[in-house]
């Protein structure tokens, strides 16, 4: 099986290996020196297995792929309200280094263009540039699962030639978006852009996002799922600059590119992809990186809006344990739509039982909405002179602190629930 996947990747990479369009970034000599023939592709599964094809071990600078990660860190550290007060979430349709803010709010339009990214750096806590950078460096490293190094030559060049970014930072300061010294903030921004990654690092960082903030290799939570949801949202709408619409249509994965030649792409809940090929198109996106992502998405069916079928039933079995007591065994991941189906089925069949027991031990994951719906089932049933019990042996679905405000009755075993059900019928 693993070999088959490896063959797919090699094949898709080979198909684009001969493409020579585009040009390496040349605004600093260090990037102009990149080997245009290099082409690496990595894919990490959600459990951390990595497939590599081509130059997956070559290090290059992360550049703008840093932006979503620093945005995530800012959200994580200071919260969404503080971040939203300074940075918007609207696609700009402009070049990444446009010297612009929103006309009315005077905030950068989104965190994926330089203006928003520089503002995001300024929101990361730290009293000195070193302290702020240390946080960023540590955060990226935890996402990648290894300590990343900085490319000091690229950093020095970025700093020496960064007039345009300086213009942006001073503009932000004048609009009150950026607190503190713009040059200190920029120093951190240039350092974060100069961190070195491989396509495999990018695949792992992507998978950390795909897993809702848990690194697939270390198993450690790096940030929470609300931060990841917001970060992926802006990657969908703004990640590929002015090519965002085409990218979402053709590839359908939240993504981010950088002028170092990298692209990171995330298939939420499933996997992460990293690509490296330094030949860029006019927008600053890796030519072969974009093409290989298009092919991967089409051939492996990775578009995040692929609707394969209606959500499969979450009721795996239903049976009557004794007269008037019906058991519903649920399984899988339970979100709003699944819970809605369960409630409707149980209520439709209310003529067949006096007590409905929902057996939850095979539920893998549940969100707040589904939990509230299951917990509220009993209120509906008792209004119809019926009873409804939940069986949750591991307290995973209904931890004690989530039962408040509901009248749910939760048992540790099916036997206990049936016992009480019999008493209810007798009484």
Binding site for ligand GLN (CB under 6 A): 63-64, 96-97, 114, 158, 165, 193, 258-259, 284
Least separation in angstroms between CB 22 and ligand GLN: 14
CA dist., res. 271 & res. 265, Å (int): 9
Q: Which is nearer to ligand GLN, 161 or 341 (CB)?
A: 161
- Residue 209's nearest CA partner among 140, 147, 146 is 140
CA dist., res. 8 & res. 346, Å (int): 44
Least separation in angstroms between CB 66 and ligand GLN: 8
CA dist., res. 330 & res. 41, Å (int): 39
Is 67 assigned a catalytic role?
yes
Q: Which is nearer to ligand GLN, 172 or 259 (CB)?
A: 259
The answer to whether 392 touches 361, Cβ cutoff 8 Å, is yes
CA dist., res. 345 & res. 205, Å (int): 41
Least separation in angstroms between CB 235 and ligand GLN: 14
Least separation in angstroms between CB 192 and ligand GLN: 9
Q: Which is nearer to ligand GLN, 193 or 398 (CB)?
A: 193
Is 189 assigned a catalytic role?
yes
- Which residue's beta carbon is nearest to the bound ligand GLN? 64
Q: Output the six-digit token pair for 226.
A: 């609300």
Tell me which of 259, 264, 287, 327 is the catalytic residue: 259
Helix 182-193 and helix 152-161, axial crossing angle in degrees, nearest 10: 140
Q: What is the DSSP string of 200-218?
A: HHHHHHHHHHHTTSB-TTT
Q: Hey, how many other C-beta atoms are within 10 angstroms of the C-beta on 79? A: 13
Q: Which is nearer to ligand GLN, 44 or 165 (CB)?
A: 165
Dihedral-angle region of residue 306 (phi above 0 means left; psi in -120 to 50 means alpha; beta otherwise): beta
Q: What is the largest CA-CA distance in the chain?
A: 85
How wide is the angle at C-alpha 96 spanned by C-alphas 92 and 98, nearest 5°? 75
Q: Which is nearer to ligand GLN, 132 or 211 (CB)?
A: 132
Least separation in angstroms between CB 114 and ligand GLN: 5
Is 241 assigned a catalytic role?
yes
Give the residue numbers annotated as catalytic, written as ranges.
64, 67, 189, 241, 259
């Amino acid at each position: 099986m693993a070999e088959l996947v490896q063959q797919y990747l090699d094949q898709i990479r080979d198909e684009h290996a001969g493409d020579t369009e585009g040009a390496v970034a040349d605004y600093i000599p260090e990037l102009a020196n990149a080997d245009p023939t290099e082409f690496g592709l990595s894919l990490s599964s959600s459990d951390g297995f990595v497939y590599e094809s081509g130059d997956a071990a070559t290090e290059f600078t992360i550049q703008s792929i840093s932006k979503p990660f620093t945005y995530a860190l800012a959200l994580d550290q200071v919260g969404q309200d503080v971040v939203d007060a300074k940075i918007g979430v609207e696609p700009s349709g402009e070049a990444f280094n446009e010297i612009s803010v929103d006309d009315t709010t005077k905030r950068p339009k989104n965190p994926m263009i330089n203006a928003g990214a520089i503002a995001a750096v300024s929101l990361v806590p730290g009293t000195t540039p070193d302290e702020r950078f240390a946080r960023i460096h540590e955060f990226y490293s935890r996402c990648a699962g290894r300590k990343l190094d900085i490319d000091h030559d690229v950093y020095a060049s970025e700093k020496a030639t960064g007039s345009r970014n300086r213009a942006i930072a001073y503009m932000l300061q004048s609009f009150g978006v950026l607190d503190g010294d713009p040059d200190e903030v920029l120093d951190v921004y240039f350092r974060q852009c100069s961190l070195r990654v491989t396509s495999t690092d990018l695949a792992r960082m992507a998978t950390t996002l795909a897993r809702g903030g848990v690194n697939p290799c270390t198993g450690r939570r790096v940030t929470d799922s609300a931060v990841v949801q917001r970060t992926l949202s802006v990657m969908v709408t703004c990640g590929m600059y002015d090519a965002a619409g085409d990218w979402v249509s053709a590839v359908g994965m939240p993504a981010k590119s950088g002028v170092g030649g990298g692209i990171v792409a995330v298939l939420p809940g499933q996997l992460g992809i990293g690509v490296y090929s330094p030949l860029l198109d006019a927008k600053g996106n890796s030519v072969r990186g974009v093409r290989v992502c298009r092919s991967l998405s089409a051939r492996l069916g990775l578009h995040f809006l692929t609707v394969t079928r209606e959500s499969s039933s979450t009721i795996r079995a239903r049976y009557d344990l004794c007269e008037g007591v019906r058991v519903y065994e649920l399984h899988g991941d339970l979100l709003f739509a699944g819970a809605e189906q369960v409630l409707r089925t149980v209520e439709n069949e209310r003529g067949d039982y006096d007590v409905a027991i929902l057996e939850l031990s095979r539920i893998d994951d549940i969100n707040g909405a589904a939990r509230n719906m299951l917990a509220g089932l009993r209120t509906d049933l008792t209004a119809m002179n019926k009873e409804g019990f939940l069986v949750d042996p591991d307290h995973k679905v209904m931890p004690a602190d989530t039962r408040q405000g509901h009248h749910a009755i939760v048992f540790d075993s099916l036997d206990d629930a049936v016992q009480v059900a019999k008493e209810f019928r007798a009484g």
